[in-house]
């Protein structure tokens, strides 16, 4: 035992240099150890040495202990200075003060106040943004309703469908809506009466035989028996059939995606059989084949300059390619402008001709057919086709023509589209998702594995011999590009798709233009299927190629897809809410569509935030696609009308300037024709003014079928809420809102 001391024990310390390996050493580069001797009689530290023996401690440990003591003393001082809660004194108030966070400084009241104010400011900003968006939406809706312009007005309806067909289809949807509203009233009344009965439970219900209440109870019980015995079985059969079609189409899409992944994994890429030698400066123009370049256009004054400039700047010997500007415009001013542009480029040395038909028959197909009948076409081996809004890169021909060399079976080389206005609004973003999947997956997989796909009508190079062997351009459908591709495939010609060769173009920015384009794209294939089916059966191609054409290319991807999409999600699903005996499982309504949308968006990963709007918008567009499919299949209305998709020409001026800057170092003599002189600038200003005047004449419209379906789906959502079907309710609610926004024309270009 040791006697307590009045003062802490004193410790004698001395520092000696120590080598890094330990031990006493005089090396100055080593670390220092401190030798301590406890005073005799002082308590020995646990694990220490005997009394009187020195203990070696690192100097850094002593400094670390000192810093800890200083931090503890400062922390205690801060706690003493902190104001007590509640304004009261005493030890209890001080003890209730919050302890600071371990390893960091605590926040005082002023800091907490500023943090809360910052969060409140952000929340207020979010609420303000939502309120302003809601007010803007309400103002736009009020303008639409006040204007009263609908798709039934002149110029807004689809020219492909007759007024009788349009009125019949709209009448069917409107009658369905009226019946749904009446049934919802029945169901709400029964819900508040506590009736949650199916047909097997009706025998437990005692019905009064008189009075208004008895009449209602009898009517409701009769409706339940009617739907259970007569409506539910055929509805369930139709729902099961649509689900089977949905699964088949989903499997086809999954197989296409797996094929695309395989192409990327193996890095499969079409390469020319003979390596191109166009970059050899010693080669003369005789080494380059003769190429005919065609630019069909019709009243497209916004974009004609950019396409002509891009084609005339193609990197190809001037003596070996000729540009045909095929103008079908009926506006004399537009004809004059295009003719002057052609003359301007002809003065710079470009081989370019202007053609205008007096009798405009056959639309685009007739225009191309007329151009191919020129006598000088026999001197050319290939023909490249570009629509008026397309801007090929200067090396387009050098990257496509070499694939034809030493490959006599090759008839078509198709390039991919890229879009200059894909981020203009929500409509263009959703179109970009669709078309990226079309090119990246559908066209590329079909081109690699079966050497066949539908020609996209532009940004492609044809072997003229293949066109002539297939019968040339025909005016029998509105999809002349798909027509010539199918006939060339039946003749044994092969196609190549180049995913790495892109050609810039524009997307329609207004819903009205996009709707008309989609109607033409989905009515034409059904016309073509009726006309080509006998030729496909009689052709000499293999059985599997015939099966691919009939069952996959036409039936599954052109007919079944719009059929089940509209029937299943816009007709059957709302009906199952009012006929609960027929059911659609949740995986059909939510999980598989979400998975398919995820697969569709993979080629455009930057568009991932728009996956939900994309899913809803595709179901919304199923109305137009279904109507077009039925019109084309049964030849309803004037199914041969052609409507040119409206262009904006937003990128034409910048693209022309970039082409001019690129050509200035090596083509100084072309400045007089390509540089923007004063006359050209004055002309552009006049065109801009005219364009603004035309823009003022534009109007946003309301679309009756979409609005009627919106109210139908919202009514079905209210009925599903009574049945506590969560997934069905949310799907119907958001799908109804999507139809409402599209019906009010709030998704595309907004005309002030």
Binned at pLDDT 50, 70 and 90, residue 9 comes out as very low
The size of the chain, in residues, is: 752
Position 202 scores a pLDDT of: 52
Binned at pLDDT 50, 70 and 90, residue 335 comes out as very high
pLDDT-wise least confident of 31-40, 485-494, 642-651, 680-689: 31-40
Closest residue by Cα to residue 371 from 384, 647, 389: 384
d(CA 165, CA 581): 33
Task: Give the residue-averaged pLDDT of 474-499.
Answer: 94
d(CA 174, CA 705): 8
Residues 6+ apart with CB under 8 A from 548: 450, 452
Residues 6+ apart with CB under 8 A from 86: 93
pLDDT-wise least confident of 181-195, 258-272, 662-676, 702-716: 662-676
d(CA 439, CA 562): 19
For residue 498, what is the enclosing H or E element? strand 494-505
What residues pair up with 401 in beta bridges, in sequence order? none
Asked if residue 72 has pLDDT above 80, the reply is yes
Task: Give the residue-averaged pLDDT of 189-207.
Answer: 61
Position 474 scores a pLDDT of: 93
Asked if residue 446 has pLDDT above 80, the reply is yes
pLDDT-wise least confident of 38-52, 534-548, 654-668: 654-668
d(CA 516, CA 156): 9
The token pair that represents 644 in the structure block: 């040119």
387 in active site = no
Q: Which residue in 151, 217, 327, 328 is the catalytic one?
A: 328
User: In 602-677, which residue ranges form alpha helices assigned H by DSSP?
Assistant: 611-633, 652-663, 671-674
Position 57 scores a pLDDT of: 61
b/e 93-112 (16+ beta carbons within 10 angstroms → b) = eeeeeeeeeeeeeeeeeeee
Position 242 scores a pLDDT of: 95
Identify the sign of the CA torsion 94, 95, 98, 100: positive
3-state secondary structure at position 602 = coil
User: In 227-291, which residue ranges form alpha helices assigned H by DSSP?
Assistant: 232-266
pLDDT above 90: percentage of residues in the chain: 52
Tell the residue number behind the tokens 């007590």, with chain if given: 84
Asked if residue 579 has pLDDT above 60, the reply is yes
Closest residue by Cα to residue 723 from 604, 581, 625, 623: 581
Residues 6+ apart with CB under 8 A from 363: 298, 328, 475, 478, 642
Position 441 scores a pLDDT of: 96
Asked if residue 104 has pLDDT above 90, the reply is no
Binned at pLDDT 50, 70 and 90, residue 154 comes out as low
User: In 392-425, which residue ranges form alpha helices assigned H by DSSP?
Assistant: 396-400
**Residue 463 phi, psi (nearest 5):** -80, 125
Tens-digit pLDDT profile for residues 14-65: 444 444 444 444 444 444 455 554 444 444 444 444 444 555 566 777 788 8
279 in active site = no
743 and 173 Cβ atoms separated by less than 8 Å: no
Asked if residue 682 has pLDDT above 80, the reply is no
291 and 480 Cβ atoms separated by less than 8 Å: no
* Cα–Cα distances in angstroms (integers) from residue 224 to residues 186, 208, 379, in the given order: 11, 17, 76
DSSP state of 200: G
Task: Give the residue-averaged pLDDT of 598-625.
Answer: 94
Asked if residue 358 has pLDDT above 80, the reply is yes
**Residue 636 phi, psi (nearest 5):** -90, 135
Position 168 scores a pLDDT of: 83
3-state secondary structure at position 288 = coil
Position 723 scores a pLDDT of: 80
Task: Give the residue-averaged pLDDT of 475-483.
Answer: 92
73 burial via Cβ count (<10 Å: 0-12, 13-18, 19+): exposed
Closest residue by Cα to residue 352 from 363, 364, 341: 341
Binned at pLDDT 50, 70 and 90, residue 218 comes out as confident
The token pair that represents 325 in the structure block: 């500007």
Q: Are strands 321-327 and 352-356 parallel, antiparallel or unpaired?
A: parallel
Asked if residue 376 has pLDDT above 90, the reply is yes
Binned at pLDDT 50, 70 and 90, residue 650 comes out as low
User: pTM for this structure?
Assistant: 0.77
d(CA 652, CA 716): 47
Position 11 scores a pLDDT of: 44
d(CA 708, CA 736): 10
Could you tell me the end-to-end alpha-carbon distance of the chain, in angstroms, rounded to an integer? 98
354 and 338 Cβ atoms separated by less than 8 Å: yes
190 and 578 Cβ atoms separated by less than 8 Å: no
Helices then strands, each counted (H, E), the chain: 26, 11
Residues 6+ apart with CB under 8 A from 656: 305, 306, 309, 674, 676
d(CA 406, CA 273): 6
pLDDT-wise least confident of 109-123, 183-197, 250-264, 654-668: 654-668
Residue predicted with more confidence, 134 or 410: 410
707 and 565 Cβ atoms separated by less than 8 Å: no
Tell the residue number behind the tokens 């199918």, with chain if given: 486
Position 275 scores a pLDDT of: 75
Position 333 scores a pLDDT of: 92
Residues 6+ apart with CB under 8 A from 12: 36, 37
Position 100 scores a pLDDT of: 52
324 and 292 Cβ atoms separated by less than 8 Å: yes
pLDDT-wise least confident of 375-384, 561-570, 653-662, 724-733: 653-662
Q: Which residue in 481, 655, 663, 745 is the catalytic one?
A: 481
Position 334 scores a pLDDT of: 92
Position 434 scores a pLDDT of: 95
Tens-digit pLDDT profile for residues 78-100: 777 766 554 444 444 444 445 55
The token pair that represents 185 in the structure block: 């009233």
Residue predicted with more confidence, 360 or 653: 360
628 burial via Cβ count (<10 Å: 0-12, 13-18, 19+): buried
d(CA 129, CA 138): 14
d(CA 310, CA 326): 16
Asked if residue 158 has pLDDT above 90, the reply is no
* Mean confidence (pLDDT) of the chain: 81
714 and 721 Cβ atoms separated by less than 8 Å: no
Domain boundaries, the chain: 12-73
Position 207 scores a pLDDT of: 52
Beta sheet of 382-385, edge-to-edge order: 352-356, 321-327, 291-297, 382-385, 460-463, 410-419, 494-505, 391-392
DSSP state of 38: P
Q: Are strands 494-505 and 291-297 parallel, antiparallel or unpaired?
A: unpaired
Residues 6+ apart with CB under 8 A from 179: none
Asked if residue 220 has pLDDT above 90, the reply is no
Position 27 scores a pLDDT of: 42
Position 221 scores a pLDDT of: 82
Q: How many CB atoms lie within 10 A of CB 196?
A: 11
Position 166 scores a pLDDT of: 72
pLDDT-wise least confident of 76-80, 509-513, 600-604: 76-80
3-state secondary structure at position 28 = coil
Contacts 24+ apart (CB under 8 A), 659-665: 659/309, 659/310, 659/313, 662/313, 662/394, 663/313
Q: How far is CA 256 from the centre of its chain?
A: 18
Position 219 scores a pLDDT of: 81
CA angle 516, 619, 738 (to 5 degrees): 90
Query: Which of the given ranges, 70-84, 345-359, 657-671, has the highest pLDDT on average?
Result: 345-359
DSSP state of 24: B
Tens-digit pLDDT profile for residues 269-313: 999 988 776 665 556 667 889 999 999 999 888 889 999 999 999
């Amino acid at each position: 035992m040791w006697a307590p001391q009045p003062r802490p024990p004193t410790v004698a310390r001395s520092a000696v240099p120590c080598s890094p390996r330990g031990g006493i050493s005089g090396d100055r580069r080593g670390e220092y150890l401190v030798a301590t001797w406890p005073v005799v009689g002082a308590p020995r530290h646990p694990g220490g040495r005997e009394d009187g023996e020195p203990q070696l401690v690192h100097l850094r440990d002593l400094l670390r202990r000192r810093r800890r003591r200083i931090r503890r003393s400062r922390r205690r001082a801060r706690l003493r200075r902190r104001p007590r809660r509640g304004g009261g004194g005493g030890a209890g108030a001080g003890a209730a003060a919050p302890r600071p966070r371990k390893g960091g400084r605590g926040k005082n009241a002023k800091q907490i106040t500023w943090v809360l104010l910052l969060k409140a400011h952000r929340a207020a900003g979010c609420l303000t943004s939502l309120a302003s968006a809601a007010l803007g939406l309400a103002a736009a809706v009020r303008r639409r309703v006040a204007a009263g312009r609908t798709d039934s007005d002149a110029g807004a309806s689809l020219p492909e469908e007759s007024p009788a067909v349009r009125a019949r289809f709209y009448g069917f949807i409107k009658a369905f809506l009226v019946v749904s509203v009446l049934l919802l009233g029945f169901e709400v009344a029964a819900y508040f009466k506590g009736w949650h009965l199916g047909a097997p439970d009706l025998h437990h219900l005692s019905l009064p035989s008189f009075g208004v209440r008895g009449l209602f109870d009898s009517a409701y019980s009769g409706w339940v028996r009617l739907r259970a015995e007569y409506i539910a079985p055929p509805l369930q059969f139709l729902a099961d059939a649509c689900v089977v079609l949905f699964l088949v189409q989903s499997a086809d899409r999954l197989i296409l995606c797996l094929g695309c992944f395989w192409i990327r994994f193996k890095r499969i890429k079409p390469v020319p059989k003979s390596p191109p030698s166009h970059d050899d400066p010693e080669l003369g123009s005789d080494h380059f084949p003769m190429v005919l370049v065609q630019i069909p256009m019709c009243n497209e004054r916004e974009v004609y300059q950019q396409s002509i400039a891009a084609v005339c700047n193609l990197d190809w010997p001037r003596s070996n390619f000729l540009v045909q500007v095929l103008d079908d415009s009926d506006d004399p001013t537009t004809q004059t402008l295009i003719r002057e542009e052609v003359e301007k480029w002809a003065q710079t040395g470009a081989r370019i001709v202007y053609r205008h038909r007096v009798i405009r028959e056959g639309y685009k197909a007739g225009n191309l057919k007329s151009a191919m009948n020129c006598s000088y076409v026999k001197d050319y081996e290939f023909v490249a086709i570009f629509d008026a809004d397309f801007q090929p890169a200067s090396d387009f021909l050098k990257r496509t023509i070499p694939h034809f060399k030493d490959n006599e079976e090759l008839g078509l080389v198709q390039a991919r589209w890229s879009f200059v206005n894909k981020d203009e609004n929500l409509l263009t973003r959703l179109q970009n998702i669709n078309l990226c999947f079309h090119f990246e997956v559908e066209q590329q997989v079909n081109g690699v594995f079966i050497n066949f796909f539908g020609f996209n009508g532009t940004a492609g190079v044809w072997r003229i011999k293949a066109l002539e062997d297939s019968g040339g351009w025909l005016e029998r459908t509105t999809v002349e590009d798909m027509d010539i591709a199918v006939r060339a495939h039946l003749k044994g010609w092969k196609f190549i798709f180049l995913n790495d060769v892109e050609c810039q173009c524009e997307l329609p920015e207004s819903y009205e233009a996009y709707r008309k384009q989609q109607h033409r794209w989905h009515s034409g294939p059904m016309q073509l299927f009726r006309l080509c089916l006998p030729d496909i059966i009689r052709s000499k191609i293999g059985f599997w190629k015939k099966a691919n054409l009939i069952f996959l290319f036409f039936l599954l991807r052109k007919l079944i897809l719009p059929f089940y999409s509209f029937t299943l999600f816009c007709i059957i699903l709302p009906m199952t809410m009012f006929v609960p005996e027929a059911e659609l499982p949740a995986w059909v309504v939510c999980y598989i569509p979400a998975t398919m949308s995820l697969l569709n968006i993979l080629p455009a990963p930057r568009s991932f935030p728009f996956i939900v709007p994309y899913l809803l918008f595709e179901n919304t567009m199923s109305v137009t696609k279904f109507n077009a499919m039925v019109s084309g299949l049964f030849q309803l209305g004037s199914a041969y009308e052609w409507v040119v998709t409206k262009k904006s020409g937003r990128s034409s001026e910048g693209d022309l300037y970039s082409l001019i800057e690129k050509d200035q170092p090596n083509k100084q003599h072309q400045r007089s024709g390509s540089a923007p002189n004063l006359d050209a600038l004055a002309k552009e200003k006049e065109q801009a003014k005219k364009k603004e005047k035309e823009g003022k004449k534009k109007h946003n419209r309301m679309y009756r079928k979409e609005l009627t379906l919106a109210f139908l789906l919202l009514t079905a959502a209210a009925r599903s809420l009574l049945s506590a079907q969560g997934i069905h309710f949310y799907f119907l609610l958001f799908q109804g809102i999507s139809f409402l926004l599209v019906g009010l024309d709030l998704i595309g270009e907004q005309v002030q």
